[in-house]
A = this chain, B = another copy of it.
Amino acid sequence: MTKKKLGTWRIDRQLVEQISRHAAFGRRRKFKKNTVLYEQGEISTRFYFVLKGLVQISIFRADGSEVVLELMGPETICGEGSAFDGLPRFSSAAAIEDTEVIEFDTAKMTEIFRSHPEFATSLLRVTSLKQRVVAIRLKHLASREPQDRIMELLTRLEEMFAIDHPKGRLLVTHVTHEQIATMTGTSRVTVTRTLQRLREQNRIDIVDGHILLRRRAGVS
């Protein structure tokens, strides 16, 4: 597999095709790098099917700190949550690369469903998949153990930025312990210690400054 993987997850090919088939109900739009698709707090009925690029979904806390929820790559949908329930956006979306999307509007969706009920089913499948991904993240974040939280982040990074390696999967991005700390809500020292421990457990390895996730018989 030489194809570059982006984003924290993607949906299966069949579903992508089903969505693409209804592209005519939306309109194509482009967002330059570092522009905003939508912002936390605003009310909107629009949602987006990413064709190309990378969109960062994050929630800002009251104190200004940012929690990155997901990085959405090609063939994913974002913004549909607040588009369908009609409440203010609970997250912000920003293109962190030049991005192309199809913008849909939920306003006339009910009428579209009448003639294209399979589109409704596809959308429900997408939202269900998102629910699954988030629920599994919750399972890990529910733990107070730094090791669980850090492994969850590493696994997520693996899906985004790892390449195959004889011993497992190598993260091509270089993240500092400090960055891991802020992303997992722990301290820098704890990250250092935890990575040390993971290395002793043979779960990870450091190769040339990069983190390598060792192949495991592992489970869920």
Chain A residues with a Cβ under 8 A of chain B? 59, 61-62, 67, 69, 80-87, 90-91, 106, 109-114, 117-118, 120-121, 123-125, 127-132, 134-139, 141-144, 146, 184-186, 219-220
Contact = CB atoms under 8 A, between A and B. Distances in A.
Given A121-B84, A121-B110, A138-B137, A90 B143 contact: no
Contacts of A220: 62
Nearest to A41: B220
Most buried by B among A106, A113, A135, A137: A135
Majority SS of interface residues in chain A? helix
B127 A128 contact: yes
A45 to B, nearest CB: 11
5 contacts: A59-B139, A62-B220, A80-B128, A84-B121, A123-B124
Contact of A124 (B62, B69, B120, B139): B120
Copies in the complex: 2
A26 to B, nearest CB: 16
B134 A135 contact: yes
A132 B85 contact: yes
A52 to B, nearest CB: 24
A130 to B, nearest CB: 6
